[in-house]
Structure 1
Amino acid sequence: MKHGSNLITGIDRHLASWKSDDDPASGEFSDWIDTRGYPQLIVMDGGDIKFRGGPWNGIRFTGTANLKTNPYYNFTFVLNHREIYYQYNLINTSVLMRVVLQPNGSLDRLLWMDDKQEWSLYLTTQIDRCDQYAVCGPFGSCNIDSSPICVCLKGFEPTSPDQWRKTEWSQGCRHIQTLDCNPGEGFNKYSNLKLPDTRGSWYNQTMTLVECKKMCKSNCSCTAYTTTNISGTGSGCLLWFGNLTDIKRFAENGDTLYIRLSASELGTPGNEPGHDPENRSGDEDLELPVFGLSTIHKATNNFSINNKLGEGGFGPVYKAPLLRVPPR
């Protein structure tokens, strides 16, 4: 079965839960490939999102790190001008398998155990509290291995510090320094993440990451970017506008996201209270080392004319003889 949409006929195939284990009437939960932006897997509780598996990254849905190559079935995702769908196929014909949206909203993959004559849980998408939709609010990152589980991303602070201290995280985080489309703004790189909610996002499957960064930088409302396909050398462009919501950190096998920050935010250490302690080395993930404005002032002798090398399309260029690049 194709789980998704036929864009030509308008047919949309999705899963719906039973009302209860023994009542096949329609329940409260449904499972969709949401196409309002870059397509992503979502489980709805009535009109609200309960769980978001995230967009397909060329290997798996970004929020389902446990969806891996195995001896029982293979899986694929198709996205073109005709269809958008997920599909899996058994490669071991001696087993029986099914995917069920349970009456409690859990999306489970079940394997038939012939010796016990029962269905056994093989895989479930919702593993811990960080799989609850947007538990840490906008610009918050959820890590089940941390205590508390919610932290603000680097360059952000709690929107409501009092609520944050009470572990009420729904209001999320805000920029420490407001973005103003200054040429000094750049991007901080985060690794091993579940990508944010892609509703309202924009994508292009043929662009390079360099082109993607350039497009995001040129649009003042663009807040983050990444590739759409991480397989091989990577390809495609995915842009976010506005708040970044429902981010989860994985220990490994997560995606990379580049978040727009002001020049001063790029120089902010990542281990202040309320900020992500796992991103202390965030500056080391940047393509180039980042220095604070005061350091550059000192290194160039307050932009002395004696240190001016010339001028180009981005403005004057200075040498900084006193600047020391930290070892990597």
Structure 2
Amino acid sequence: MRIFSVLLCSFTSLALFPIATTAFDTITGTQTITGNQTIVSAGDVFELGFFTRGSSKKWYLGIWYRNIPTDTVVWVANRDNPLTNSTGVLKIADDGNIVLVDQAANPIWSSNQPTAANTVAQLLDSGNFVLREENDENPENYIWQSFDHPTDTLLPGMKLGWDSKTGLNRYLTSWKSSDDPSSGNYSFKLDINGFPEVYLLNNQVRVYRSGPWNGLRFSGVPEMNTAFIFTFTFRRDQNEEFYSFELRNKSLYSRLLVNTSGTLQRYTWIDESKLWNLFWYAPKDQCDFYLECGVYGVCDTNASPVCNCMTGFEPKNPQAWYFRDGSDGCVRKTELNCANDGFLPLNNMKLPQSSSSFVDDGMSLADCETMCRSNCSCKAYANSNITGGGSGCVIWTTDLLDMRQYAAAEGGQDLYLKVAASDLGQGGSGSGSTGTENGSNKTKVIIMVGPIERSQDFLLNEAVIRSNNDYSGESPTDDLELPLFDFGTIVMATDNFSDANKLGQGGFGCVYKGLLDMLSKMLYSGCLAFE
């Protein structure tokens, strides 16, 4: 079981020389910075220079906020190739590139672009360090820019994603530790396959998934609905696919980073308290972790247990499910026959993993349903864009992974699940908000009497209590699906396994009786057998 806590950022002292700030934001072919020299952006927002951390003897070229007392490095040039002392030199090389050399003039880091003439390197108020031609300030013509090579931090205006023309992939990689800016284990990347979404990875293992962009937000980040100080952008065309954000109030500071523990953290600077405020983080709960409830499982933090199977599905591993391990997921009760299947609407969903999905932004939802119905491989469909009443089509033809359901006030979007017609009949129209087995109107009590032959074997007697307006005339034995009681319920039912409730003891363990509260409407006494 995972233990969750809010991870607050801890800052380690940033060691700098006594600052000898230059009066410019630009390095020309005749200028250098070395030792304790820095350059500062025109608006006095960011500073570039040399730094080290803690007691380390390794030195780095980096960018940090100029007027924030808490040392906050947002970019490191030579993170995986540090200087061994403080005598590095940053300059414009003869070929027009930015180059960092050590005291022996050995190259440590370079912008490494094709030869250009009359170039300058400039630090902008956005935090972007750019190489451009001296008389050309058009951002479209930058020869090189640090925003294309992020370290662990995404700043306003930076792009997370792909440039299709150059093959450049912009992603975040954590520091190895708070004192070591070299590349760590965690990364945050955009997957452009199928319906694009971003992943937090531990090396190459998926830890967290945002859900695909639905026109307003990532479907698995409902907090974006209330983040009014930001504007979020997701662009997908033949030239590039990327996510970025901006601040509505340009005087504010905010940053998104991957910390050394593998947590995504969005911070905003509070000038009154002189502190970075943790605005948002992920993963923040059990359902944020990738594939928590397995294939076809739905995770819901408002339910207990958090993992549920949708109508028409059942746990693949009932024993593990009993112990609240839903990682094996769910399987269909009835296989699809293609000719006579229906659709179960699921509301407020984080859409399934979408890397293998089909997307057509020009289709209507009705056309999407028709395509899914006629495709025997189709498992589910949804709108690709929920703005303006919804448009576009996403179709899943592979198993549905990493789904989550939110409360109505939280967000999510509608997903239409293909289910065998016979299972739809059992579960109703599926118009409720969950569409999971926990949403059934039946309440079932299992009465277990003693272990027989093996400790796994029980004599089962099921009592089915039906509401007054449900299943009229239906035999109570039509559906003998049995619920699973968690350990906490068993402890309460047996009064913490008190001797007064102990019925006896055999070769396979003790037998207790327990009292179960049926939704506060009635009490049903039964005997529960345990090892």
- Cα-to-partner distance string for 1:164-198 (whole Å, 9 max, x where unaligned): 112221110001001121x2201100000100111
- Aligned with residue 269 of structure 1, among 384, 405, 427: 427
Could you give the per-residue CA deviations for residues 189-220 of structure 1, whole angstroms, max 9, x where no partner exists?
00001001112111011111111111111111
The question of whether the paired residues in 1 share the 8 Å contact of 2:311 and 2:436 is answered with yes
Partner of residue 92, structure 1: 249
In the alignment, structure 1 segments of 5+ residues that lack a partner are 281-293, 295-328
- Mapped pair 1:16 → 2:173: yes
Measured in 2, the distance between the counterparts of 1:279 and 1:23 equals 53
The reply to whether residue 260 of structure 1 matches residue 418 of structure 2 is: yes
Q: 1:21 and 1:118 mapped to 2: Cα distance?
A: 18
CA drift of 1:114 comes to 2.2
| Paired position in structure 2 for 1:128 | 285
Aligned match for 1:211, one of 367, 386, 407: 367
Cα distance per residue 1:4-38 (max 9 Å; x no partner): 11111111111111112221111111101111211
Q: 1:39 to 1:71 in 2, by over 3 A?
A: closer
Please name the residue that 2:402 is paired with.
246
Contact preservation (8 Å) 1:30, 1:44: yes
Deviation of the 1:115 alpha carbon:
3.0
Q: CA deviation at 1:275?
A: 4.7
CA contact (8 A) 2:178 2:260 kept: yes
Amino acid in structure 1 at the alignment position of 2:192: T
Give the letter aligned to residue 18 of structure 1: W
Alignment of 1:150-189 (within 5 A): 150-181=307-338, 183-189=339-345
Partner-residue secondary structure (3-state), 1:67: helix
Match of 2:45 in 1: none
- Identity across the alignment (%): 39
Checking the alignment, whether the CA contact within 8 Å between 2:298 and 2:309 is kept in structure 1 is yes
> What residue number does 1:142 align with?
299
Query: Counterpart amino acid of 2:304?
Result: S
Q: Deviations over 1:44-66 (max 9, x none)?
A: 11111100001001100000010
SS in 2 for 1:214: helix
Q: In structure 2, what is the equivalent of residue 231 of structure 1?
A: 387
Match of 1:76 among 233, 239, 249: 233
Q: Distance in 2 between matches of 1:14 and 1:276?
A: 39
Question: Over the residues paired in the alignment, what is the CA RMSD in angstroms?
Answer: 2.0
Q: Give 1:83 deviation, angstroms.
A: 1.1
Q: Which has the higher contact order (CA 8 A, sep 6+)?
A: 1
Q: Give how far 1:91 is off.
A: 1.4
**For the residues of structure 2 that align with 1:180 and 1:164, how far apart are their CA atoms?**
28
Kept in 2, the 8 Å contact 1:157–1:275? The answer is no
**Any stretches of 5+ residues in structure 2 without a counterpart?**
1-157, 442-473, 475-531
TM-score normalized by structure 2?
Answer: 0.51
Q: Please report the TM-score for the alignment, with normalisation by the length of structure 1.
A: 0.81
SS in 2 for 1:186: strand
1:238-274 C-alpha deviation (Å, 9 max, x unpaired)? 0111211111110021110001111101112379xx9
Kindly indicate whether the alpha-carbon contact (under 8 Å) linking 2:356 and 2:398 is maintained by their aligned counterparts in 1: no
Larger deviation, residues 171-180 vs 261-270 = 261-270
* Residues in 2 aligned to 1:230 and 1:214: alpha-carbon distance in whole angstroms: 19
CA contact (8 A) 1:72 1:95 kept: no
In 1, distance between residues paired with 2:227 and 2:414?
24
CA distance in 2, matches of 1:171, 1:8: 41
